[in-house]
Each structure stands twice: as structure tokens, then as C-alpha cells.
A and B are shown apart, each in its own frame.
Chain A
Amino acid sequence: MGVISFVLLLGGLVFYAGGSVGIIRFPDVYSRLHPAGKLDTMGLFMTMSGMALYVLSDWSISALLTALKIMLIVVFIFITSPTATHAMADAGMRAGLVHWSRK
């Protein structure tokens, strides 16, 4: 169980690292939103499930409750993060921000 949670945490960190590099390196708002969304969904899902498994490694009812709460964080972020990304992209389009393109 410990090994699986370690691997999950490490995988999540890889996604976080990629997302952070992407936010800095991508050329404009729309393309930067793309790694930001990735970071919130896959990175968060993997780190949180890693933590939930770690909590569950010594089994008890309260540990199960904690693990469920950790997974609830994932559920709520899955609702709000794409909404925020959508709202930002929408606002950019409506404000007339032209997307980046190779000349």
C-alpha cells in the first residue's frame, strides 16, 4: 500500500511540475489555461488518491472517513476548476483577446 501511494504521489508531482513549467513557458492566456487545467485535474487526483491510500494503510473506520474527505476535495475541485478555466477563456474571447499564432 505504501509503495502504491508513493508511486501515485510521485506521478502527481510529475503532472504538477509539467503544469507549472507550462504556465510559465506557454505564449498566451489561452494556451496557459491548458496546463493550468491539467495540473488541477490529473495532478490533484493522483496526489490526493495517493494520500487517501496512505491514510488507509492502517485500517480503521476513522481512517476511511478521512480518506473519503480527501476524495471529496477531488470531487469539488473537479467541479470548480474546469468552470474557472471556462470562465477565464470565455472572458478572454469576449474581451477580444486575440490568440497567439506562429507568424
Chain B
Amino acid sequence: MKRFAFIGVLLFGAVLLYSSFSFPPLGDPHAPANRHVSDDYIRDGMKETAVPNLVTAVLADYRGYDTMFEATVILAAGIACFFLLRRYRRKPAQHRLYRHIDTGVILIIEQGGKEPVDSKEFERIDYHWVPFDLVVNKAAGLMVPFLQLFALYVIFHGHHSPGGGFQGGVIFGATVILLAISRDLRSTTRLFPERTSAFLSSAGLFIYAGTGFACLLLGSNLLDYSALARLLAVDPVMARSHGILLVEIGVGMAVSAIMIWIYYNLASAGRYDEGL
């Protein structure tokens, strides 16, 4: 099976390499990209979409189809990680470590021993003993709300400044990963369960594709947001701006959830019990 996969990868790579020869050379003035497309974007971009940040306009509107499949690729990566790594069978029982919170005394409970109830007095700690560090813990907890606010700002201000769904989503995912690093994986999966990350990642992509298909249902082309003008009660130019915002929200949700999902799977080798 592995050999067939290897041959498939080789063949696919050969096809990609072969097709790369038919690209126009770099900086060719007669290449399609240099003939009229860029000039059109620069001249008419602001007029047609009411988005001052040209990069966002090109990414989410003019080349929205491309971006939709970029988000799909990320979702596919997350799902592939899940299928490859996730293990539901429990690890064979070994001894567990518990810390008495007030004194810091560590209890090692051998296999079959009576475990303390997870209460206010004891907390379970990782097998690869992660030391309790008040400074790191509190500093991370202090920073996370600001970081999440900044992530939302990057997503929603993508029309006017550098940013957008991908960048903001990655920042948001990094905040949850920061929590997981500074505390432990179990408490983080209680805050942000695997189920939530799986749901949000598909829901984000659904928002993107749904916006595109809503345009189709309203009698326009796929991802031509000006068709949403009647639905949003604005003129077609502003409708394109709002459509870009909807799409960016979808991308942000999907990317942040997939970042977290991939981290969970990689950090705990698919077991979700112990890890960084």
C-alpha cells in the first residue's frame, strides 16, 4: 500500500513539474497577469468593492474561488491529521501523578491504587511531569484576552489594514495553544473541546461556501457578492464589501479551529489526555 502511495506521489509530482514548464517566464510583459488584470484591480478595485485594502479585495472577491479552495485545503489537512493520529483506545494503565495544590506535594498512584477525586485539593498532572509555574500560568492567562481581541480586530479590520481571516484565525488559534502550553492539555480541552474545533472548522467553510451559493441562488455567479445587495439592503458595491467580511469571518473560524485541532492531535499523539 505504501509503495502504491509512493508511486502515486511521484507521478503527481512529475505531472506538476511538467506543467510548470508551460508557465510564462517571470516578468514577461506579455504574460496574462501583466497585460491588464493588475491595472484593472488597481484602477477599479476601490470603485467596485469599496475596500481600501486591495489585497483583501483581490483575495476574497476577485479571486474568491481560489481562496475558497485554500480554506478547503486547510480543512483537509486538519481532517487528515485527525484520521492519522486520533486514537480512541486508552493507553494501558500506568501510574498517575497528582499534585496537592496547597503544598505542592506530588502523589504517585500506582496501577490499581485509589485515586484522589479531582477536586479543589488535588489536580492530576502529566506523566512527563510539567512543573507548576505560577508566573508563566498567570502571565499567559493575562495575555490571552488581549490576544484574542487583537485576533478579532485583525479579522474585522482586514478591509482597511493588513490582515484578514487567515491571519486573525491563526492568532486566535495560537491563543488557545498558548493556554495549552502554559497549563495542560486536559484543562484546555475542557475549555475548547475537540467537538467544538471540529464543528467550527466545518462551519467556517460552510459560511464561505454558503455565501457563494447564496449569490448563485439570487441569480448571479458563484461568489459574486453584489447579488447579496437585496438581502443585505445595501447598494451592490457595499454588498461586495459586506460579502468579503462574511467570507473572512468564515475563513477565520475555520483556520483558528483547525490550528487548535491539529495541535491537539500532534501534542498528545491523538490521545487527548497528556501532552504539552
Partners in one complex: yes
Point out residues on A near B: beta carbons under 8 Å: 76, 79-80, 83, 86-87, 90, 94
The interface stretch among B136-144, B160-168, B169-177, B249-257 is: B136-144
B136 near A87 with CB under 8 A, answer: yes
The answer to whether B133 touches A87 (Cβ under 8 A) is: yes
State whether A79 touches B139 (Cβ < 8 A).
yes
Instruction: Scan residues 117-149 of chain B and give those whose CB is less than 8 A from a CB of chain A.
Output: 131, 133, 135-136, 139-140, 142-143, 146
Q: Is the CB of B135 within 8 A of A83?
A: yes
Q: Which B residues are CB-close (under 8 A) to A80?
A: 139, 143
Q: CA–CA, A87 to B139, complex, Å?
A: 11
Question: For B139, B140, B142, B143, which residue has the most chain A Cβ atoms within 10 angstroms?
Answer: B139
Give the interface SS of chain B, mostly helix, strand, loop or mixed: helix
Query: B: which residues have CB within 8 A of A?
Result: 131, 133, 135-136, 139-140, 142-143, 146
Please state if A76 and B131 are interface contacts (CB–CB under 8 Å): no
Q: SS class of chain A's interface: helix, strand, loop or mixed?
A: helix
| In the bound complex, CA of A86 to CA of B137 (Å) | 12
Q: A76-B143, A80-B143 are in contact. List 12 more A-B contacts (CB 8 A).
A: A76-B146, A79-B139, A79-B142, A80-B139, A83-B135, A83-B136, A83-B140, A86-B136, A87-B133, A87-B136, A90-B131, A90-B133
Question: What is the bound-complex CA distance between A3 and B146, given in angstroms?
Answer: 34
Pair count A-B, CB < 8 A: 19
A77 to chain B minimum Cβ distance, whole angstroms, is 11
Q: Is the CB of B131 within 8 A of A79?
A: no
In the bound complex, residues from chain A placing their C-beta under 8 Å from that of B143 are: 76, 79-80
Q: Which 7 A-B pairs have the closest CB atoms?
A: A83-B139, A87-B136, A86-B135, A79-B139, A83-B135, A83-B136, A94-B131
What are 12 A-B pairs at a CB distance below 8 A?
A: A76-B146, A79-B143, A80-B139, A83-B135, A83-B139, A83-B140, A86-B135, A86-B136, A87-B133, A87-B135, A87-B136, A90-B133
A87 to B133, CA, bound (A): 8
Q: How far is the CA of A80 from the CA of B133 in the complex (A)?
A: 14
- Which residue on B lies nearest to A87, using beta carbons? B136
